[in-house]
Amino acid sequence: MQTELADFIRGTPEGDEAEEVLRRCVHCGFCTATCPTYQVLGDELDGPRGRIYLMKQALEGKEVTASTRMHLDRCLTCRNCESTCPSGVEYGRLVDVGRKVVEERAPRPWTERVMRGLLKEGLTSPIFGPAMKLGQRLRPLLPAVLRNKVPERRATKAWPTATHARKVIVLEGCVQPAMQPNIGIATARVLDAVGVQAVRAEGAGCCGAIRYHLSDHDGGLADMKRNIDAWWPRVEAGAEAIVIDASGCGAMVKEYGRKLRLDAAYAEKAKRISELTLDLAEYLPRFGSALADKLGTLPFSKLVFHPPCTLQHGQQVRGAVEGLLTALGAEVRLPPNSHLCCGSAGTYSVLHPQIAYRLRDDKLRAIQTVEPQAIVSANIGCIVHLQSGTTTPVRHWIEIVEEALASRT
């Protein structure tokens, strides 16, 4: 696709990045067939091809309107289009640049600015944890729109205390420890069982995805640098990997090297951090036989796995969770149309609830054709979003493994 960038962005790092992506697009339309929002809304401008044209026009200096911004906002950033594209168009890179440019040229009304500001500051704030605990106590009294975002309270398990020669860094993040702390604890307990110590680094927090994807690039980059500073002493001390059990965070941390490539103080460190980062489903299978020997009975034998978009499209990790759980004795199936987004997509389900719940319900209908005892996934957002629409248990897959481990001890 030929482009002629406007003076305001020509020759800048963002402009060069956007132009590189735009030139790969041949406008074939394969992406449209797998775009969840296009399937729901049926509008060309709510599919990747139409959004690419909108961003191209904005980057070439043509008029940008609230309608332009709306169509870009409706994108889930699921990156399914990247998995489909025969030309290798990295849509996720383009939409980060395009959204920021559009937002600068077509400022939002104050109501939207306030809502987005509350999300990016509130979800990453230290007070989010206490607020979530209060919400869980009051959950029966909350209106449905809030109750759907507050998971039921469960007794918190203990973090393992043993030390091991083999150590990995784990990212607790911002939302998961407040909403479902047992996910991170289950990760640490399973790693402990195979002789690996999960190390939490003081000072680390949000991976940067919340701010970055809400077009606060400076804030997102600051989150990334803070994490690098917190992790670096552990890296220098010999941590063998950064293991992440929230696929949304993992997808972002694997991008640190690219996003900070022009920062002289952080470029090399960021590159090393990204190289060390693995999703838990990439790391744990290397201990498969040792882990299987320690397991008791799985709490559910018939599972359906919902692969988060950030795992299958963002990180391009497929089959790892299903393979591990199958090797450990579970019957695991993927639902029909497993490539499609469930509608959670970070803050999307808050900002665009109608589309998000339509996608959730479509996903759950597909899942129920498999008739599972439980649904498992690999990202906190998907887990909470899906559970809000079903009575079937929705869990992180590592919790299933940890409960089987606990049943043996």
22-49 residue pLDDT tens: 999 998 989 999 999 999 999 999 999 9
Q: How confident is the model at residue 119 (pLDDT cuts 50, 70, 90)?
A: very high
Amino acid at 85: C
More confident residue, 295 or 255: 255
Binning the chain into helix, strand and coil, the percentages to the nearest 5 are 55, 5, 40
- pLDDT tens digit sequence for 245-270: 999 999 999 999 999 999 999 999 99
How far is Cα 285 from Cα 304, in angstroms, rounded to an integer?
Answer: 19
Q: How confident is the model at residue 2 (pLDDT cuts 50, 70, 90)?
A: confident
Q: What is the DSSP letter of 175?
A: S
Whole-structure pTM value: 0.95
User: What's the confidence (pLDDT) of residue 306?
Assistant: 98
User: What's the number of CA atoms in the CB half-sphere (13 Å) around residue 301?
Assistant: 3
Residue 363, class by beta-carbon neighbours within 10 Å (0-12 exposed, 13-18 middle, 19+ buried)? Answer: buried
User: What's the confidence (pLDDT) of residue 66?
Assistant: 94
Q: What is the DSSP letter of 141?
A: G
Amino acid at 39: Q
Tell me what the pLDDT averaged over the chain comes to: 94
Evaluate whether 392 touches 375 at the Cβ level (below 8 Å): yes
User: What's the confidence (pLDDT) of residue 409?
Assistant: 61
Average pLDDT over residues 162-174: 94
User: What's the confidence (pLDDT) of residue 295?
Assistant: 87
Query: Cα–Cα distances in Å, from 173 out to 200, 224, 341?
Result: 10, 11, 22
Q: How confident is the model at residue 145 (pLDDT cuts 50, 70, 90)?
A: confident
Q: How confident is the model at residue 98 (pLDDT cuts 50, 70, 90)?
A: very high
User: What's the confidence (pLDDT) of residue 354?
Assistant: 96
Average pLDDT over residues 326-355: 95
Q: How confident is the model at residue 173 (pLDDT cuts 50, 70, 90)?
A: confident
Among candidate residues 7, 49, 43, the one with its CA nearest the CA of residue 28: 49
- Asked whether residue 334 carries a pLDDT value surpassing 70, the answer given is yes
- Asked whether residue 171 carries a pLDDT value surpassing 90, the answer given is yes
How far is Cα 304 from Cα 376, in angstroms, rounded to an integer?
Answer: 6
Average pLDDT over residues 323-350: 94
User: What's the confidence (pLDDT) of residue 175?
Assistant: 93
- Asked whether residue 177 carries a pLDDT value surpassing 90, the answer given is yes
- Asked whether residue 1 carries a pLDDT value surpassing 80, the answer given is no
User: What's the confidence (pLDDT) of residue 288?
Assistant: 85
- Asked whether residue 408 carries a pLDDT value surpassing 80, the answer given is no
